[in-house]
Amino acid sequence: MKTKIVFFVLMFTAVVSHAQQDAQFTQYMYNTINVNPAYAGSRGVMSIFGLHRTQWVGLDGAPVTNALSLNSPINDSNLGIGLSFINDRIGPTEENVVSADVSYTIQTSENYKLSFGAKATGNFFSLDVSRLNPAQQGDAQFQNLNKFSPNIGAGIYYHSDKSYIGLSVPNFIESKRYNDNQVAIFREKVNYYLIAGYVFDLDNDIKFKPALLTKLVEGAPLQVDVSANFMFNQKFVLGAAYRWDASVSALAGFQVTDGLYIGYGYDLETTRLRNYNHGSHEVFLRYELFSNFNKIISPRFF
């Protein structure tokens, strides 16, 4: 039984340390604040975002992620602030991440702005050995673990109403978690992000937006996510995404009101893992608070 427990711990360690590191989102283009603090306040209004992701449905112990964030500009200043929370559960492990962001934006031309951001994060990591169903409860070799780790990050974000590109490192400090035998069960490494997107007006009623996210982590394959979305009549969004050597996705969204947008994504694995699960589901809501002075005529596409 001890061998089985070690196997499960190693399996979930591999998922966390090599496949994902930071929580993974298919609809990253709407959830930029979690990877780049310079995004805070860039939409010009207070934006509230909530997301639920169920990954690899049907696979016991697969990741389940919940995210909630708020970001806003500060009055008429160049400052923006953000606050976000992520809960990520994988098998016997659970992470709760709370982040605070601040950004400063300068106007570089008539249409473009350059934003600089800083992030402060608190990471609460726990391992519940009882979820592994050990034969001997309370075995001294397998103890629960709870650990808090602070971190800092930074990013830059160059954007207009139709395009953006950003570079960021959400966590500069590598952190390790150990059990009582001083065996590393989790190591959070530095994640480097590059994001980009552009909106093309195909005609008065159709917009086309390709987007890109790349993530580099030491010891893990380069992650490349590409997506293509079409917006029809300022209301409906349909698209597709591809995660290099991992999955393909179908995306959909609807602008319910000027302030409320709802989106859904479905991932289908392209690896051998597809034989053991029924895909991944992701749904999110974004609500924005407009005043009479900053209400936009048409919704921004990112």
- Residue 241: the pLDDT is 96
| Residue found under tokens 């709760």 | 96
Count of domains forming the chain: 1
| Residue found under tokens 């031309």 | 109
Question: Among residues of the chain, what percentage have pLDDT more than 90?
Answer: 61
- The predicted-structure confidence for 148-179, as pLDDT tens digits, reads as follows 999 999 999 999 989 999 999 999 988 776 55
Identify whether 103 is part of a domain: yes
Identify whether 140 is part of a domain: no
For the chain, the C-alpha Rg in angstroms (whole number) is 20
- Is pLDDT of 4 > 60? no
Question: Among residues of the chain, what percentage have pLDDT more than 70?
Answer: 82
Identify whether 260 is part of a domain: yes
Identify whether 251 is part of a domain: yes
Tell me the C-alpha to C-alpha distance, in Å, between residue 158 and each of 111, 141, 163, 239: 11, 50, 8, 24
Summary mean pLDDT of the chain = 85
- The predicted-structure confidence for 233-250, as pLDDT tens digits, reads as follows 999 999 999 999 889 999
Per DSSP, the residues of the chain read -HHHHHHHHHHHHHIIIIIISSPP-TTGGG-GGGT-GGGTTTTSSEEEEEEEEE-STTSTT--EEEEEEEEEE-TTSSEEEEEEEEEEEETTEEEEEEEEEEEEEEE-SSS-EEEEEEEEEEEEEEE-GGGG--SSTT-TTS--EEEEEEEEEEEEEEE-SSEEEEEEES--S-EEEE-TT--EEEEEPPEEEEEEEE-EE-SSSEEEEEEEEEEEETTSPPEEEEEEEEEETTTEEEEEEEETTTEEEEEEEEE-SSSEEEEEEEEEE-SGGGGG---EEEEEEEEEE--TTT--SS----
- Is pLDDT of 113 > 90? yes
- Is pLDDT of 283 > 60? yes
Identify whether 141 is part of a domain: no
Q: φ and ψ at 12, to 5 degrees?
A: -75, -30
Average pLDDT over residues 99-113: 96
Average pLDDT over residues 17-33: 74
Identify whether 302 is part of a domain: no
Looking up residue 170, the CATH number of its domain turns out to be: 2.40.160.40
Report yes or no: 107 and 27 within 8 Å, Cβ to Cβ.
no
Identify whether 1 is part of a domain: no
Q: Using 50, 70 and 90 to split pLDDT, how confident is the model at 33?
A: very high
- The predicted-structure confidence for 288-298, as pLDDT tens digits, reads as follows 987 644 555 44
**172 vs 170: CA distance, rounded Å:** 7
Average pLDDT over residues 103-127: 95
- Residue 220: the pLDDT is 79
Identify whether 62 is part of a domain: yes
Q: Using 50, 70 and 90 to split pLDDT, how confident is the model at 258?
A: confident
- Residue 225: the pLDDT is 95
Q: Copy the structure tokens of residue 184.
A: 């590393």
- Is pLDDT of 88 > 90? yes
Residue 95, domain extent: 36-132+148-178+190-289
Q: φ and ψ at 33, to 5 degrees?
A: -60, -30
Q: Using 50, 70 and 90 to split pLDDT, how confident is the model at 281?
A: very high
- Is pLDDT of 17 > 60? no
Report yes or no: 199 and 213 within 8 Å, Cβ to Cβ.
no
- Is pLDDT of 48 > 90? yes
